Amino acid sequence: MANRGMSDEVLNCVMPYIDDPKDRDAVSLVCRRWYDLDALTRKHITIALCYTTSPDRLRRRFPHLESLRLKGKPRAAMFNLIMEDWGGYVTPWVKEIAEYFDCLKVLHFRRMIVKDSDLELLAKARGRVLLVLKLDKCSGFSTDGLLHVGRSCRNLRTLFLEESQIVDKDGEWLHELALNNTVLETLNFYMTELAKVRFEDLELIARNCQSLISMKISDYEVLDLVGFFRAASALEEFAGGSFSEQPENYSAVTFPRRLCCLGLNYMGKNEMPIMFPFASLLKKLDLLYCLLDTEDHCLLIQKCPNLEVLEARNVIGDRGLEVLAQSCKKLRRLRIERGEDEQEMEDEEGVVSQRGLMALARGCLEIEYVAIYVSDITNAALECIGTHSKNLCDFRLVLLEREERITDLPLDNGVRALLRGCQKLRRFALYLRSGGLTDVGLSYIGQYSPNVRWMLLGYVGESDAGLLAFSRGCPSLQKLEMRGCCFSERALAFAVMQLTSLRYLWVQGYRASETGRDLLGMARPFWNIELIPSRGVIIDAPDGDGEAVVIEHPAHILAYYSLAGPRTDFPSTVIPLEPASCPCRTV
């Protein structure tokens, strides 16, 4: 009988080639021997919510991890829908990492609360071996914590701080990094408040780190970076900067010859020509914070035939998308954000609608990712995407409230055609308005999303019947987020029990009861349910002169699988729901 199984020698040879987490999970279920071998050889883990397990459980299960990605607050925190003190603290994880994870080289915290003391402990305990440190949309720390990183993490290849809320005390952290590191490849403090850095330290990093290929910084005068660009000969990506001098002065700026990914903040029409000499080499272009109108977008995009990734605001307009479809046949990723809320960044001509979407689908056949805000939409546009965008893996559409009348609602048939045509789709978001999708359309989403693992739905469906029909499908759905729902607690609970692969649910805006009692219909072992009651949020007047207004935030539900049991760091604004009748968890 022993000879029928795979030998340890063969298994040891095969296991390193199994990288996909789902394949690894399947392997670990075969038998105890395979489970143990997976535990010893697993190199990377992603934990989608830090409360689904505990640091000591992770250490016991995978003692030789080399890479860890850990997420904290729900995704809604990025849109200020979750309170800052909701949770997601890295402290217990850092303590475990510092004491036990001797092999850990790559660490990525996302949407978590990090303290300076956490960074100090991490730098002292793991600074010599840490190669990658990403603090991604994190908060709670200052440049004092980064100072420890700069001094102790001398082998760091990547330091990523993008969109983190960091208290800027001084620029000594960057000076220490520049003095102590000679192997840095990526430095990113884009979209942060770190303004006290010195351009001399950026130049020193460029001279000392010959392998530097990516630099993304905060708003910093581009003319002060001339020396940095001259020294950074291997640089392939740059983002940030600002323009505050006369346009003719920027003729002195010369970018590194290998640069192929670029995003220049606050670049206007007059500064745009500095990009023209190398525009044909660009593969990635970030125009989110440029001061360009629709025609400027069209002119620039025409000069970028090799573009694979574009990020812009909806000022690009349908005409800009048509130019994109004609000029950029290699485009794989497109992100179009809303722009009308940003002062000085609105163009009345910049409206994205079904016209631009249809041009994009017909012209950019390699497209894999689309995230877009539209002012108008039709079933025909969604059908066109389903017909042409066969490589689409991630599609996200938000219908703005800008137009009083939408050309073609509901979108039932268009959504069905898109889902049926885009068989590779794994992530799907549809945020509409009342009447945008009927119960029938919601049932189509369930029926034609066999491979979708993450979904965001906003203002869809008409009644509980639509949600129940939806929940009979989606066999692969693991994470579901919903806003602006008309569904009852009872229907939500029933849908959760129907969705067999579901591991995470977040809902804001539903038919909430006083107690949330009907939500207990989804209670089961290892399933945590948290309720955030409706609350008033004070919003300052946009111009700063008027009176602040109170906005009512509807109640939230957060429910998720956890091997660690209910968490213990609830703030007063979060109510855990756990009936006495629910079977006890085994930790």
pLDDT in tens, 170-194: 999 999 999 999 999 999 999 999 9
pLDDT band at 153 (very low <50, low <70, confident <90, very high): very high
585: confidence class by pLDDT, cuts 50, 70, 90: very low
Q: What are phi and psi of 553, to 5 degrees?
A: -95, 120
Evaluate if residue 87 carries a pLDDT over 50: yes
How far is it, in rounded angstroms, from Cα 436 to Cα 460?
Answer: 6
Show the 3-state SS of 123-190. Answer: HHHHCCCCCEEEEECCEEEEHHHHHHHHHHCCCCCEEECCCCEEECCCCHHHHHHHHHCCCCCEEECC
The neighbour count for residue 486, using CB atoms within 10 Å, is 17
pLDDT band at 511 (very low <50, low <70, confident <90, very high): confident
CB 67 within 8 A of CB 83: no
Instruction: Give 10-74 as a DSSP string.
Output: HHHHHGGG---HHHHHHHHTT-HHHHHHHHHH--EEEESSTTSS-HHHHHHH-TT-SEEEEE-S-
Which residue is listed with tokens 């991890």? Answer: 65
Residue 344 in this model has a pLDDT that exceeds 70: no
Please state, rounded to an integer, the average pLDDT across all residues of the chain: 90
Tell me the angle at which helices 354-363 and 379-388 cross, rounded to the nearest 10 degrees. Answer: 10
Cα 429 versus chain centre, distance: 13
User: What mean pLDDT is predicted for residues 438-443?
Assistant: 97
Residue type, 291: L
Assign 401 a pLDDT band (cuts: 50, 70, 90): confident
Q: How confident is the model at residue 536 (pLDDT cuts 50, 70, 90)?
A: confident
Residues 6+ apart with CB under 8 A from 291: 266, 267, 268, 269, 344, 345
The torsion angles phi and psi of 262, rounded to 5 degrees, stand at -145, 140
Report the 10 Å Cβ neighbour count for 457.
Answer: 23
Instruction: Please count the CA atoms within 13 angstroms of the CA of 303 that sit on its side-chain side.
Output: 13
Share of the chain above pLDDT 70, in %: 93
> String of b and e for 360-381 (b: at least 16 CB within 10 Å)?
bbebbeebbbbbbbbbbbbbeb
The DSSP secondary-structure symbol of 513 reads -
Token representation of residue 227: 């020396």
Instruction: Give the whole-angstrom CA distance, residue 233 versus residue 212.
Output: 8
DSSP assignment of 529-572: EEEE--EEEEE--TTSSS--EEEEEPPEEEEEE-SS-S-S---T
pLDDT of residue 550: 76
Contact partners, residue 230, CB within 8 Å, separation at least 6: 254
Q: Which of 18-27, 82-91, 128-137, 316-325 has the lowest mean pLDDT?
A: 18-27
Of 313 and 538, more confident:
313
What is the per-residue pLDDT across 350-374, written as a single tens digit (0 to 9) for each? 799 999 999 999 999 999 999 999 9
**pLDDT of 142 strictly over 50:** yes
Can you give the pLDDT at residue 4?
53
The mean-pLDDT minimum among 6-20, 183-197, 573-587 falls in: 573-587
pLDDT surpassing 90 at residue 130? yes
Q: Is the dihedral of CA 345, 351, 355, 358 positive or negative?
A: positive
Task: Point out the least confidently predicted range of 149-163, 378-392, 497-511, 540-554.
Answer: 540-554
Task: Single out the residue of 451, 449, 450 nearest to residue 460, CA to CA.
Answer: 449
Any idea which residue has 């279920």 for tokens? Answer: 29
- Pick from 221, 223, 278, 282: which is nearest to 251 by CA? 223
Structure tokens at 20: 């996909």
Write out pLDDT tens, residues 228-250. Answer: 999 999 999 999 999 999 988 99
Strands 165-167 and 158-160: unpaired
What single-letter amino acid sits at 405? Answer: R
Q: Residue 245 contacts by C-beta under 8 Å, 6 or more apart in sequence? A: 221, 223
Using the structure block, give the residue that is written with the tokens 């995470």.
Answer: 504
Q: How does strand 186-188 pair with strand 479-483? A: unpaired
Higher pLDDT, 117 or 2: 117
Q: How do residues 271-303 score in pLDDT, each as one tens digit?
A: 999 999 999 999 999 999 999 999 999 999 999
Give the Cα-Cα-Cα angle 407, 409, 411 (nearest 5 degrees). 120
Q: Which residue has the higher pLDDT, 550 or 227?
A: 227
pLDDT for 579 beyond 80: no
pLDDT of the residue at 340: 56
pLDDT score, position 448 = 97
For helices 317-327 and 354-363, the axis angle rounded to 10 degrees is 0
* pTM attached to this predicted model: 0.91
Residue 486 has pLDDT above 80, yes or no: yes
Q: Which stretch of 454-458, 479-483, 542-546 has the lowest confidence by average pLDDT?
A: 542-546
Given a cut of 70, whether residue 444 has pLDDT beyond it is: yes
Is the per-residue pLDDT at 581 higher than 60?
Answer: no
DSSP 297: H
Burial class (CB in 10 A: 0-12, 13-18, 19+), 136: middle
